[in-house]
Amino acid sequence: MSGSIAEDSLSDGFFSDVLEGLDIALFERICSSRFRPIGRLPLWFKSFYSPVEHQQYDLAMQSAFLENFLIDAEAYWESPSDKRSGSRLASGVWSEGGETVARPLEAFALVAARRSLLAIVDLSSNFEDQRQVYQRARELALGQEKLALELSQKQRELQAALEQRVLNQESLEVIANTVAGNASAVLICDAMGRMQVANKALVDIFHIESGASGQRRSVLERWLQEAEGAYPEIKRVVTSGSYWEGEFESQGITGEKKWIRLNIGPVLDSEGTVSHYICIANDVTDVHYGNHGQERFEDVDPVTQLPNRHSFWRKITQLIEQATTQHQQLALYYVDLDHFKRVNDSLGHHAGDFLLNTFAARIAHCVKRTDIVAHLGGDEFAVVAQVKQLGNIETIAQRLLDSFIPPVTIDSTDFRLSASIGVALFPADGLDATTLMKHADLAMFHAKELGRNQCQFFKPAIGARFLNRLNLENDLEAAIQRGQFELYYQPQICLAEETFVRLEALIRWRHPEQGFISPAIFIPLAEESELIHKIGLWVLNTACAYAQQFAGQGIKVVVAVNVSACQARRKDFIDIVEQALQDSGLPPEQLEIEITETSFLEQMDEVVTMLSKLRRMGINVSLDDFGSGFSSLTYLKSLPVDNLKLDQTFVRELPDHEESRAITASVIRLAHDLKMNVIAEGVETVEQLDYLRQQGCDYVQGYYFYRPLPGDELPPIFDQIMEAGSII
């Protein structure tokens, strides 16, 4: 007799019958995550889990939740009996069976007869009553959420109306009279935060004395400081010129505390620079303190059924206090969905809510029941897990990333989203919730900068890098005024005979202290801060003027100018181009506009209309980085473009890489069938050049011929440029 519990039990099957009647799956631990069943397993268990060998189950491999729980269970099993906390260790409730029809389960680790046991219990029979109670709670919360959404919508509408008035250059005195009697508090500041408009509601609600200009000037700054506790990202969002809204607790000058629903909207001038901030605020204290019977329901986000930001803030504070006394380590994961706004705007909010709910369920399955999972609002989630070693932290991070891999089906269409995750550790990265959140947010922002769909751990260098980024943004605006930008030009070589010079204009920033700063660094900064419009206008005007200066010498120069997605989506972009041509005198056929795929993905119809107008004016259009985006072929037939620029990632691998050869040949054939020319970027070797020439490529550019050169170095070699393709 081996001494196993199954063999020591009653041979007549009585023990198995008892387990089956209780609907319990009981296992004896063999080693690590391998388990052997005791008695007959319930049918529901067999529908979720399969044995890896005869009568052996690797539960950690088949359940992410159990994998995490078994780490704690193993420590429990291996502890001396006098060191174990209680007679059993509970996992908390989780669900198996998918996101629509799920069965609530709970696992228990225990020791009996010196053997390590694992029991998995089906809680379905007791769960329905709880579900009905929760449903009633959710209905109450939805009603309250509806009121909050209506208030938020009214604030947005008022903010948008005031923004339009400011853009129309109405006097601030007229605007002040318009909002004087509005029930919402209205605050309009200049770009430095100085008060310019304050209505009566602002004075009454927040007890601001009408004559206290210095006090008024600090209102926005005070709100930012108060909100930063619950929204560590607020200063980053506002200083970058982005819209922000949220609720937070504020303390008035008389000491009273109020809950404020606030939105802050930047007003951008014609150059894309923030000129004003429009703030709309409402006192929502009664909503937070007046409905005592619904406090529990207000902690739940009605869309995802997860704890909301306020509940999360309370929970993480409590968890940090506990971890401090018990010397535990915590990991805070700040999860932000990539490009969610694009999907939400295109499919509608109902589909967006479905996606959020789906991903909320997946995220919750990645950690233990005792860990914290919350929906912070919008497309942001937070997870706080108790961890013991670095391997556990990385395992959870990978599990979170992997949870976004399966597509979500909406109306028979599969949608795939990814997430950027930032991680901050307690106590290493911060001793309080505010610091941890701020550091996790910075790490998440760093993950997005590196290309999204990844996890980054906070490091002090990231914080320093963010400060450097803010300094660069300030320097960037000064660079425009101080003339620190230069245009370099890289020739595009025709592989046949050419009678004119083709150049691509490339911007360079000569920083007074840091030297040349790569466009890969400052262009994304400019796009996020809206300075891209000022920079883009300077590039367009400078390039057109440069190309036109050779007209008197009988030299025709065609210049290509890169246009960002932000510029291309401006309603007055055509007017800007027309003005640049008019001011410089450059004929339209000597200007080429280069756009990338991201310029039209979100507003296809509008961009197609804009490109068509450019071509009717006689301007050429090129699609840059063709082949690097996921939808290029889908939209190609619809786009009115003259040239395709083959992405240099394919050119770099020519002629040795078979797939790159196939793609290059196919793109050239396709472009020619559509009556388009092909420009290959990044040509650096004669072998690459020979292959492109064999395939019929029209133009090439790259270091094999010329690096980007300052404008004054090009005129002496214009003849060489025109002849280079036919000579080599």
**CATH code of residue 409:** 3.30.70.270
Q: What is the pLDDT of residue 416?
A: 85
Q: Are residues 233 and 320 in the same domain?
A: no
pLDDT at 292: 44
At which of 289, 313, 340 does a domain end? 289
- Structure confidence at residue 700 (pLDDT): 94
Both tokens of 441, joined, read 């947010």
Task: Give the CA radius of gyration of the chain.
Answer: 31
587 in the same domain as 481: yes
Report the pLDDT value the prediction gives residue 70, as an integer from 0 to 100.
Answer: 84
CATH number, residue 103:
3.30.450
Strands 591-595, 557-562: pairing kind: parallel
- Separation of alpha carbons 629 and 210, rounded Å: 55
353-365: string of b/e by CB count within 10 Å (b at 16+)?
ebbbbbbbbbbbb
Does one domain contain both 190 and 270? yes
Pick from 70, 102, 122: which residue ends a domain?
122
274 & 324 share domain: no
User: Do residues 450 and 546 both lie within one domain?
Assistant: no
Q: pLDDT at position 587, please?
A: 96
Tokens representing 91 are: 């996992």
Strands (E) located in 429-484: 455-457
**CATH number, domain at 600?**
3.20.20.450
Q: Is residue 34 part of a domain?
A: yes
Residue 86 Cα to chain centre, angstroms = 43
Q: What is the pLDDT of residue 473?
A: 77
Do 305 and 184 share a domain, yes or no?
no
- The predicted pLDDT at position 7 comes to 42
How confident is the model at residue 565, as a pLDDT?
Answer: 79
- Examine residue 138 and state whether it is found in any structural domain, yes or no: no
**Within a domain: 140:** no
Which of 260, 289, 318 is a domain's end point? 289
Burial class (CB in 10 A: 0-12, 13-18, 19+), 437: buried
Split the chain (728 residues) into runs of 10 and give each run's mean pLDDT: 41 55 81 81 80 76 78 84 77 67 80 86 66 52 60 80 85 88 88 85 73 54 83 76 80 73 83 81 73 52 82 90 91 92 71 87 87 88 89 90 89 85 94 90 87 91 77 82 92 85 94 87 80 91 95 92 85 92 96 82 75 94 72 68 87 87 90 92 92 93 93 90 70
78/511 Cα distance (integer angstroms): 61
Domain that holds residue 340: 299-458
Q: Are residues 476 and 532 in the same domain?
A: yes
Residue at 434 is within a domain = yes
Query: Residue 594 has which token pair?
Result: 């280069």
Are residues 84 and 49 part of one domain?
Answer: yes
In the numeric block, the tokens 């408009």 are attached to 197
pLDDT value of residue 539: 96
Counting the structural domains of the chain, the total is: 4
pLDDT value of position 12: 40
CB 265 within 8 A of CB 243: yes
**C-alpha dist (Å) from residue 392 to 76, 93, 319, 421, 475:** 17, 21, 18, 16, 42
- 473 and 620 fall within a common domain: yes
Let me know if residue 37 belongs to a domain.
Answer: yes
Terminal alpha carbon distance of the chain: 87
Q: List the beta strands (DSSP E) in 451-602.
A: 455-457, 485-491, 493-494, 501-511, 515-517, 557-562, 591-595
Cα 284 vs. chain centroid, distance in angstroms?
Answer: 29
464 is a domain residue: no
Strands 591-595, 620-626: pairing kind: parallel
**pLDDT score, position 208:** 67
520 close to 562: Cβ distance less than 8 angstroms: no
**In what order do the strands lie in the sheet containing 419-426?**
372-377, 380-387, 329-337, 419-426, 455-457
Considering the domain architecture, whether residues 407 and 529 belong to the same structural domain is answered as: no
Please check whether residues 158 and 229 belong to one and the same domain.
Answer: yes
Per-residue confidence (pLDDT) for residue 518, from 0 to 100? 85
Tokens at 555, concatenated: 């030299």
pLDDT for the residue 297: 45
147 sits in which H/E element: helix 124-167
Q: Is residue 600 part of a domain?
A: yes
- 36 within domain boundaries: yes
**Quick one: 348 and 497 in the same domain?**
no
Distance CA 34, CA 61 (A): 10
**How far is Cα 35 from Cα 47, in angstroms, rounded to an integer?**
17
